[in-house]
Structures are given as structure tokens and as C-alpha cells.
Amino acid sequence: MKAIADLWASAQESLRKNFREHYPAWCHAIPFLAWLGMMAGLDLPLFGPDHAWKYAARTVVCLALFLYFKPWRWYGKLRLRNLPLATLVGVFVFAFWTFPAIPVGGAYAGWQEWYVRFGILPLGQLPDLTVDSVYDPQVAGWILALTRLAGSAFVIAVIEEFFWRGFLYRWLIRTDFLKVGLNHVDWETIGKVCLLFAVIHHEWLAGLLTGLVYLGLMIKTRDVWAVAFAHVVTNLLLAIYVLVTGTYMFW
């Protein structure tokens, strides 16, 4: 028993040392990793069938973690001059995220059928745009539906940008990532991060382009807040579009 206790104490000390030595990295990563962990954990049978309260729980917990760890402390304030470009980027991403999956017919139909079969997971299947959803206000109620909107637009969008663009892109270039400039260009790492960002989304092809556009915005502006603002615009427009049209596939 003493050997097990000593091993446990050694492991704890090792974790504490790692946390101290890589504190900025953990401050960026923990809110996003917690989001992924809760997403997987709350899907366990222990917590019952899918329900809108699960997204609300992720939103509250991960917002609290983001506010506690304050990854923004290593960056300057949002530069207002970057807002027009960030807004345009946000609208542009929303447009190419949704438009290819909306049936319009005509000469566009062939390319669109290819996109919905091979640009959206699972591959080879036509998506059901109006699939039943636990986030439908008639199912969840407007409080939980609007919490879903707020969580996607104002919480996870910001958390993701400090993780993907602020942290991961630069950390893959150099573990002491704060010494890597926000305008640093490394095409191999750009490819890696954009591919990773793509595979965690059902709309993988749109996700690939989104990762490239957001990263390009950070490199151009040297402002993570500008990219976070663009992501907020995208997710807010998407959430409004979903609630108005009932195309819950995008949620």
C-alpha cells in the first residue's frame, strides 16, 4: 500500500510541476478540453438520452473555466480597426458553411450533390437538413434553445479561437508558444491545424476552409480577439438561421 501511495504522490507532484511549467498552455487548453470531455461524458448512458440541458451544462462550466484561467491575459485588447474585416470574415464563413447544403437546383445541383455526399460526414449520405432536434424550442423550451444559441455564439466560439489559433497553431511550431508571433506563417503547421479543425466537424470540407480563413485573419491582423469576433459572428448568424428555418442539421 505504501508503494501505491508513493506512486500516487509522485504522479501528483509530476502533474503539478507540469502545470506550473506550462501554465499558459494549460490556461488556453483546459476550457476547450473540458468542453470535449463533457461532450463525451454527458453522452454516457448514465446521464440519459440527449437533452438540451447537457449543452447548457457545458456552456456554464466551460465559461467558468475560461473566466478563471483568463487566457486573454497574454494578448492585447481587441483593436476596433479590425472589426469590419472580422465581421466580413464571419459572414463569409456563415455563407459557405450553410449555402452548399441548401437545395437550389439548376446548374448548381451537380456540384451541390457532390458536396453533401462527400463534404459532410458521414460520407456518401445525403444529410437531413430538418432532422428532429432536442434544441427545437417546441421540445427544449425557449430558455434552453436560447442558451444553446448563446453557448455556441459567445462561449465556445471564443474558447475555440484561443485554443486553435492562439495556442495550438503556435504550440505546434514551438512549445514555448508565446514567443511565436501571431503573424508567423508556417505552412506545414497551417495544414495540420486546419485538418484537425476539419475532422472534428461533420461539415469537414467547410471546416477545412473555415480553419484556413480564421487562421489567415489572425496572421493578417495579429489579433486573436478579431478572430474570436469573426467566429462569434459566424456562430450567431448560424444559430439564428437554424432557429428560424429549422435546419437543425447545422447544430
In this predicted model, what pLDDT tens digit does every residue of 84-133 receive, in sequence order? 999 999 999 999 999 887 776 666 777 888 888 888 888 877 777 778 89
- Give the pLDDT confidence score for residue 105 in this predicted structure: 67
pLDDT tens digits, one per residue of 128-158: 777 889 999 999 999 999 999 999 999 999 9
> CA-to-CA distance for 180 and 173, rounded, in angstroms?
8
Judged against a pLDDT cut of 80, whether residue 245 lies above it is answered with: yes
Burial class, 138, CB count within 10 angstroms (exposed 0-12 / middle 13-18 / buried 19+): exposed
**Would you tell me how many other CB atoms lie within 10 Å of the CB of residue 34?**
18
Q: What is the CA radius of gyration of the chain?
A: 20
User: What pLDDT does residue 243 have?
Assistant: 95
Closest CA to 233 of 76, 35, 94: 94
Q: How many C-beta atoms surround the C-beta of residue 160 within 10 A?
A: 21
DSSP summary character for residue 175? S
Contact, 250 vs 97, CB < 8 A? yes
Per-residue cell: 187: 505552412
